[in-house]
Amino acid sequence: MNQRPAADLSGLPTFGHGPGSPTWWGTLGFMALEGTGFALAAGAYLYLATLWPNWRLSAPEPNHWPGTIVTLLLIVSLVPNHMLNRYAKECTIGPVRIGMVVMSLLGIAPLIVRWFEFPALNIYWDTNAYGSMLWVLLGLHTTHLITDVGDTIVLTVLMFTHHGYNGRRFGDVGDNVFYWDFVVLTWIPIYLLIYWLPRWG
């Protein structure tokens, strides 16, 4: 009777970080889909901008200060975000809990400013094509911001329960860090399109 060789896999890790985690690849897929949506919206904005010499269509300039404050808050958040990623890889529960609380607060702060950012556009979504595109771009990013902050808060709560001691949760924290980077980086070109492109043009 032939015997099949067998390997003892009991020593393999039950979870992974980064590309070693299946959820990381799922997150990457979401980012690819959502990034395509952002690119299509930006492309539509730029296409319409080429059709009118005065792209603002006589609308007043948007007040760039709320958007600038959001930008600064998001850029600053990258520092604790990557510190959190290091703690998650080390599976140190205490610093991860603190980091998740910090990132939850740093996620809520831009949303508070974003509440004032929509009126600061100085145009309604149904005024003209320019106003519609501003609200589409800002609305898309706000949706991503809300969903990621919600996910961060839920994960923060889990880290303070017995679920936090499950090793896979540290992998989830790493995926959350990865997605937050995406939220921050996609905002930069949107910020430039909304607030600075019409001024340069």
Quick one: which of 76, 197, 192 has its CA closest to 141? 192
Tell me how far apart the alpha carbons of residues 155 and 112 are, in angstroms, rounded to a whole number: 21
Q: Tell me the pLDDT band of 22, cut-offs 50, 70 and 90.
A: confident
Residue with more model confidence, 84 or 4: 84
Cβ distance 185 to 108 under 8 Å?
Answer: no
* Residue 51 DSSP SS3: helix
| Every domain of the chain and the residues it spans | 63-200
What pTM value is reported for the model? 0.86
Q: Tell me the pLDDT band of 121, cut-offs 50, 70 and 90.
A: very high
Tell me how far apart the alpha carbons of residues 183 and 160 are, in angstroms, rounded to a whole number: 25
pLDDT digits (tens, 9 = 90+) for 95-112: 999 999 999 999 999 999
Looking at domain 63-200, which CATH architecture does it have?
Answer: Up-down Bundle (1.20)
